[in-house]
Amino acid sequence: MPGIRESEKPVNLNMVPIMNLFLAMIPFLLMCAAFFQVSVINASVPALSEGGDQDQEPKKELKKVTLNVQIGTNGFTISASGDQSEDELKKIGGTIPKKNNQYDFDKLAERIKAIHDHYPKSDTVILLPGKDTLYDTLVKTMDATRERILDKRLDTREHLFTNAVVSSIL
Amino acid sequence: MAVADTATGQDSTAGQQQTNWQAPPPRKRHKSDPYRPVHLNMLPMMALFTVVLCALLKDYSSDPVQISPSPDTRLPHSNTKLPPQKAVQIAISRRAIMVDNSKVAEVESGRVKPVYKKDNNPQSMFIVPLFEALRKKADQEKLIAKYNKRRRELQFKGLVTVIADKRVPFRLLTEVLYTAGQAEFGQYKFAVIKTQGS
């Protein structure tokens, strides 16, 4: 251009080598990329305990229950165990039948939330699937009992029965 | 455009002019014109490639524990947020049971073949080759822990990650967990696919 000295002319960089590098790396990384994220769910199984001091009276926990959720062919059966009276424990229990031949996880989550509101110190749920229950059903039941998502966008959750014990009926 | 013009009561000569317009014929290059190479502006493409590369590199490096289910395994979806931990991996697909990517037993119609069970008994909960493989892993981990007593992360915790197909029946899962328990693995983590937005 007239008026611009030779030293002020813009320098054209050779972008071809770096483009080649990018074009080689992107397909390789795309091949290795995972388009889903794997997480884990903690689970435990019932354990034998030695039995503590028999002479000492155990302290009664009236705000805590252990929930049992049986996954049957017709739906869920809920029962509870704890230091409460038998009548009170019976009131907690109940059945959630299948809806359109599908397990009603929403209703189970609602019921679990109501129980947890009443007994806020509770954290243990024993899951009792039938031998033909699919693993997917077990995971969904764990989800329904473990926590409730309050706001998906803000990722706020309410913890319910976080300690899941997987057991089976003999 | 023509409709709009009639609505305003004007003749749509401008629209007709537009439709009758023709591109001028390409200028013929004279033989005397020198050939000039076209310089493409590479910067937008470079910027795009840099962003893609950074995103892929971040994805590649952020997960130290790699869980890679076999092609025939469909993991269940869950809203859990817990990240995977370093542990012995037991994969249960509809065809086989694998321990750290080594096949130990075959599965047929959701059941372990009786030949892999204790005393060839189909009702047994004990899967012999799975037990042997896990026992070997437990011994290895204990040996590592023995020589690294000060490092808590290397102590034997009996932790297994179960990577099971979502169509696997609970009976098969129970057999695997029971056998793992016999080999001193008592803590279980079920691998799932994190649902979007959770």
Tens digit of pLDDT for each residue in A72-85?
Answer: 999 999 999 888 88
Taking an 8 Å cut-off on Cβ atoms, the answer to whether B49 and A135 are in contact is no
pLDDT at residue B155 in the model = 87
Average pLDDT over residues B131-146: 93
Q: Give percent of chain A with pLDDT exceeding 70.
A: 87
Q: In this complex, which of B80, B169, B188 lies closest to A39 when CB atoms are compared?
A: B80
Average pLDDT over residues A88-95: 87
Identify the helix (H) or strand (E) that includes residue A19: helix A16-32
For residue A128, CA distances in Å to A72, A141, A167 come to 8, 10, 5
The pLDDT-based confidence of B27 (bands split at 50, 70, 90) is low
Flag whether pLDDT at A43 surpasses 60: yes
Q: Which residue of A has its CA nearest to B169?
A: A134
What residue spans of chain B are helical by DSSP H? 2-7, 13-20, 43-61, 128-147, 170-182
Burial of B180-194, coded b for 16+ CB within 10 Å and e otherwise, reads bbebebebbbbbbbb
Average pLDDT over residues B18-40: 66
Q: How deeply is B14 buried, as exposed, middle or buried, from its count of CB atoms within 10 A (0-12, 13-18, 19+)?
A: exposed
Structure tokens at B57: 């590199």
Flag whether pLDDT at B112 surpasses 60: yes
The pLDDT-based confidence of B2 (bands split at 50, 70, 90) is very low
Whether this model's ipTM surpasses 0.85 comes out as: no
Distance CA B78, CA B14 (A): 62
pLDDT at residue A15 in the model = 79
Neighbours of B99 (CB within 10 A): 21
What's the whole-number average pLDDT of chain A?
84
More confident residue, B67 or B46: B46
For residue A111, CA distances in Å to A89, A104, A108, A114 come to 14, 11, 5, 5
pLDDT at residue B3 in the model = 41
What are the phi and psi torsion angles at B22 (to 5°)? Answer: -125, 145
What CATH architecture does domain B77-194 belong to?
2-Layer Sandwich (3.30)
A141 Cβ partners below 8 Å, 6+ apart? A69, A71, A76, A103, A105, A108, A127, A129
Taking an 8 Å cut-off on Cβ atoms, the answer to whether B166 and A39 are in contact is no
Flag whether pLDDT at A103 surpasses 60: yes
More confident residue, B24 or B189: B189
Flag whether pLDDT at A4 surpasses 60: no
pLDDT at residue B15 in the model = 47
Average pLDDT over residues A12-37: 82
For residue B28, CA distances in Å to B24, B34, B36, B37 come to 11, 13, 15, 17
For residue B169, the one-letter residue type is: P
Distance CA A70, CA A103 (A): 12
| B153: closest CA of chain A, how far (Å) | 18
For residue B121, the one-letter residue type is: N
pLDDT at residue B4 in the model = 43
pLDDT at residue A38 in the model = 85
Q: Which of A76, A165, A86 is nearest to A124 (CA)?
A: A165
Q: Give percent of chain B with pLDDT exceeding 70.
A: 79
Structure tokens at B137: 């892993």
For residue A2, the one-letter residue type is: P
Average pLDDT over residues B155-176: 92
Burial of B144-159, coded b for 16+ CB within 10 Å and e otherwise, reads eeeeeeeeeeeebebe
For residue A127, CA distances in Å to A61, A77, B176 come to 22, 10, 17
Neighbours of B108 (CB within 10 A): 11
Flag whether pLDDT at A69 surpasses 90: yes
Average pLDDT over residues A148-158: 82
Distance CA A144, CA A78 (A): 13
Flag whether pLDDT at B87 surpasses 70: yes
Distance CA A64, CA A81 (A): 9
| B117: closest CA of chain A, how far (Å) | 18
Average pLDDT over residues B33-56: 82
What's the whole-number average pLDDT of chain B?
82
Instruction: Determine which of A38, A45, A137, A149 to mutate to test the interface with B (most B C-beta atoms within 10 Å).
Output: A38
End-to-end CA distance of chain A: 91
Average pLDDT over residues A160-169: 87
User: Which CATH topology does A65-166 take?
Assistant: Nucleotidyltransferase; domain 5 (3.30.420)
Lowest-confidence pick of A25-34, A143-152, B17-26: B17-26
Taking an 8 Å cut-off on Cβ atoms, the answer to whether A15 and B46 are in contact is yes
Flag whether pLDDT at B9 surpasses 50: no
Distance CA A40, CA B146 (A): 28
**Do B102 and B133 meet the contact criterion of CB atoms below 8 Å apart?**
yes
The pLDDT-based confidence of A50 (bands split at 50, 70, 90) is low
pLDDT at residue B179 in the model = 94
More confident residue, A105 or A84: A105
pLDDT at residue B30 in the model = 60
Distance CA B103, CA B98 (A): 4
CB contact A48 to B (< 8 Å) = no
| B143: closest CA of chain A, how far (Å) | 25
